[in-house]
Structure 1
């Protein structure tokens, strides 16, 4: 029996070849996820991983509600994370180390810049995640959606773009963590409590607490995955956030809104 990742590689390669050969020309919309899943005989979760991979390679553009559109016939250059980076502990630990700083900063900015619409979106995702906490596929997508919604609340599109670029690796990591946690009910509940602490800090307009909560959540996730990030604890202690006058003033303004 083939593993899910092997299926993802096979379908992604076939889709890439079809785009390169012009079966799906630039500007054309790809079939829906449901149609592609039926065509290749795989789950829609596999198709989501495939489209994330194609998008990270610069071949397609995907927008919620409008599907996937072919953007180019050849892969884009520039910074890339190998698609297999989430397959071994060392590489996965490196991705989590990147997430610690990226998502910690995003949560802090979100606490300052969030709108009522952002808070409503985050709250809605958490309510849905409460309902689907023990449904693996749905929980993975909602977990990722929560982190992306925080990036959107920064109102800096490049946080969103970078997080979406990393989504393939993040999805794999989240699925691994949740599959492990499902065997121990308390761990799944712990992860949701960590999400709530991040949300509450963002809602309160407290950037220092939001950063701390986001980074604590990701450190707990690395522990649940038995990942080792050498030196991070010492670095975190040395870089413990100190509220500058400007930061404190910004936080007070955000809380007053």
Structure 2
């Protein structure tokens, strides 16, 4: 996994933010830290990891950015429906919300 300073630069966030994110990943069992060596993504997790809680937690931020790469907008809608409802109800108040959903362009075989 990239180092803390690399993550800080790549995503334009504070050092504390990268440390917090790595701590969450470690607590979820998704990464392992090796002192003096770095942080490594686990090859296999002990239990399935749902994205719902992570997406919902991200909506508590001041600026929310989601890059979604999936097969359907329906999957994205399902993942963000509850936080969007909480924004409508005034329970969450991010300053901005940016969602990117790149759509693959099917290739056509030439004959």
Bucket of the pairwise TM-score, normalised by the shorter protein: 0.3 to 0.5
TM-score, structure 2 normalization: 0.39
Greater share of strand residues, 1 or 2?
2
TM-score, normalised via structure 1 length: 0.18
